[in-house]
Structure 1
Amino acid sequence: MDSIRVFAPATVANVACGFDIFGFAVDNPGDQIVLTTSDEPGVRITDIIGDEGRLPREAARNTAGIAIQTYLRSINRTDLGLDIVLHKQMPLGSGLGSSAASAVAGVYAVNELLGRPLPTLKLLPFAMEGERIACGSAHADNVGPSLLGGFVVVRSYSPLDVIKIETPATLFCTLVHPDIEVNTKDARFILKNEVSLKNTITQMGNVAGLIAGLMTPDYSLISRSLVDVIIEPVRAILIPEFNEAKQAALDNGALGCSISGSGPSMFALSRDAQTAEKVGAAMQQAFLAVGIASEAYVSQINQQGPKVLVD
């Protein structure tokens, strides 16, 4: 084939207590990429739809473009010509893994186009290069679940060690994106370089408890463990009405609620779809009370990751 269209899903990173080590994929929103072979060698971005002209068109400065270029260099196929059309279908600076979805869609698409010379897991370092371009840090908590699907644990970055764990089939995620923007670099800049031993011990307990709760499954344990005593208290100040939206989620049956990635999006986990829908409506109402519009998405945890779309 000489052309391919791929969808890669949005993701929730950190998942409350797991800063830079936890992430999971959702069914929607997500980004799409169309790759078409060209007789002219090199990677070119011919169009980006839905970014309002904000993203770089130079391939080496674009998350999807750099992921594809790095991949092609690694397999010695820099002779290949590729034209990219990127469809941005989620807000920029949303905390939903927008840059990760583009990078994953790109590297997954080129690997499929070439007949899968590499297994999916081996694509992860190339997608991480997209994150380096986007925010200065090649973290894997967004690209990992977007590429592999499901709930992902990044055990180590050196060497890279990523594990996908089982999650309850009836676990639903609510995502609410208030119509404000938080820059990922700014959200990292305000974090403290040191934390207390007390908070470290509490956070480690919640990390272990959340994994155990997901794998058991034990909804009560999941609920007790969805607590962040290190990152959330600092970043919450960047999100107007954060406390009110979180309380609305909990009051309407959510197991837990926190910031998605660096924000401003928030996520909540629930036992079923009906509760997840109710939670989303309540969170949106909390934002609307101060004049902030929002978008809400409800889905189970996406176990598939990227997929090829047939026109």
Structure 2
Amino acid sequence: MEELKVFCPATIANVSCGFDVLGLALDSVGDEMIVRKTSEKGVFITKIKGQQLPMETNKNVSGVAGLALLEKSDYQGGFEIEIDKKIKPGSGIGSSAASSAGAVWAMNQLLGKPFSNLELVQFAMQGEKLASDVAHADNVAPAIYGGFTLVRSYQPLDIISIPTPEELFATVIHPQIEIKTSDSRKILKTTITLEKGIRQWGNVGGLVAGLFQNDYSLIGRSLQDYIVEPIRSILIPGFDAIKINTREAGALGCGISGSGPSIFTLSKGEHTALQVADAMKETYKAIGVDFDIHVSKINVEGVKRMTDDR
């Protein structure tokens, strides 16, 4: 292959209780990207649709991630990248991660897959570092691995794939405001009480156990964040109302997607997920906030090659 077109999924990071370590990939929303080989050494951004983003390689997350891969590769040529940017930057559903993960995944395919998924995450993390000043993996890991992922350790990097229950659906609402990840991290406290830590660790373990056991009730009970959500939620209009109304509509749980402003819920079954979407819509209509909304199965493949029908 000399050229590849890929779907680069949006992602939900943190998943309430798992700050910087848990994430999941979505299937109904993502970027599209064309990556092709070139004889000239380097990574070149040749076209961007949908959003105004830097064309310069060292200022674009896909370019920086691609350069990290190229540096470790024996390949003497380079790559051109075209991006159809459908995830809005600052939306809280992994815009920078989709571009970073999509670029390195496609390059790896074109080179015959010399790198493992773990190595691809390490390359894509360099794009995240450009975007948010922190090389976090909770978005790029599910984008590359698919499904739910746990970053067990950063030093050294250790990523665990977690099974996805068949009937699990996500509903995400994006109020039309922008919150930069770098800014939202600055307001977080650097210490927590032991009591909050114990409650949070219990929820992380409960969520992982619920996913392994297909226990939807346990998943719902574990979607509680005692550390980050109380601070970041004040930046998101209508957050408390959304949380109450979506639970009444049948959601298993609700939380902030990534650094916000998007809010996510998990539900058992598509019918309930659609009911939850209606509750979200009515809540924001009542307070006069414009929004985008997505209902999606969990994407268990991650970045994937696009066919003619998608």
* Alignment pair present for 1:215 and 2:212: yes
Q: Residue 175 of structure 1: which of 172, 177, 186 is its match?
A: 172
The secondary structure found in structure 1 opposite 2:295 is strand
Q: Measure how far apart 1:80 and its partner are.
A: 1.1
Letter of the aligned partner of 1:71 in structure 2?
A: L
Name the count of aligned residue pairs.
308
The secondary structure found in structure 2 opposite 1:180 is coil
Residue 297 of structure 1 corresponds to: 294
Q: Measure how far apart 1:289 and its partner are.
A: 1.1
Letter of the aligned partner of 1:169 in structure 2?
A: E
Residue 134 of structure 1 corresponds to: 131
CA distance in 2, matches of 1:300, 1:95: 18
Letter of the aligned partner of 1:33 in structure 2?
A: M
Deviations 1:18-67 (A, max 9, x none): 1001000010211111112233322111111111x2x2211122111111
- Note the residue ranges of structure 2 that are not aligned, 5 or more in a row: none
Letter of the aligned partner of 2:282 in structure 1?
A: Q
The secondary structure found in structure 2 opposite 1:198 is helix
* Alignment pair present for 1:308 and 2:305: yes
Residue 20 of structure 2 corresponds to: 20
Residue 80 of structure 1 corresponds to: 77
Q: Measure how far apart 1:120 and its partner are.
A: 2.8
The secondary structure found in structure 1 opposite 2:125 is helix
Residue 199 of structure 2 corresponds to: 202
CA distance in 2, matches of 1:86, 1:127: 16
- Contact 1:15-1:226 within 8 A present in 2 as well: yes
Q: Measure how far apart 1:82 and its partner are.
A: 1.9
CA distance in 2, matches of 1:307, 1:210: 27
CA distance in 2, matches of 1:25, 1:214: 14
CA distance in 2, matches of 1:58, 1:273: 41
- Note the residue ranges of structure 1 that are not aligned, 5 or more in a row: none
Residue 67 of structure 1 corresponds to: 65
The secondary structure found in structure 1 opposite 2:128 is helix
CA distance in 2, matches of 1:264, 1:279: 18
Residue 113 of structure 2 corresponds to: 116
Q: Measure how far apart 1:303 and its partner are.
A: 0.4
CA distance in 2, matches of 1:38, 1:48: 18
Q: Measure how far apart 1:310 and its partner are.
A: 3.5
> What are the equivalent positions in structure 2 for 1:83-98 lying under 5 Å apart?
83-98=80-95
CA distance in 2, matches of 1:100, 1:310: 22
User: Quick one: percent identity of the two aligned structures?
Assistant: 49
* Alignment pair present for 1:8 and 2:5: no
Residue 56 of structure 1 corresponds to: 54
> What are the equivalent positions in structure 2 for 1:128-277 lying under 5 Å apart?
128-277=125-274
CA distance in 1, matches of 2:96, 2:245: 29
CA distance in 1, matches of 2:79, 2:218: 48
- Contact 2:92-2:257 within 8 A present in 1 as well: yes
- Contact 2:98-2:140 within 8 A present in 1 as well: yes
CA distance in 2, matches of 1:117, 1:233: 43
CA distance in 2, matches of 1:148, 1:225: 23
Give RMSD over aligned pairs. Answer: 1.1
CA distance in 1, matches of 2:78, 2:191: 47
The secondary structure found in structure 2 opposite 1:270 is strand
Structure 1 residue ranges (4+ consecutive) displaced by more than 3 angstroms after TM superposition? none
The answer to which of 94-103 and 119-128 deviates more is 119-128
Residue 282 of structure 2 corresponds to: 285
Letter of the aligned partner of 1:10 in structure 2?
A: A
Deviations 1:163-216 (A, max 9, x none): 001121111111111111111111100000111111111111111111111111
- Contact 1:284-1:293 within 8 A present in 2 as well: no
- Contact 2:28-2:297 within 8 A present in 1 as well: no
The answer to which of 231-240 and 176-185 deviates more is 176-185
Letter of the aligned partner of 2:45 in structure 1?
A: I
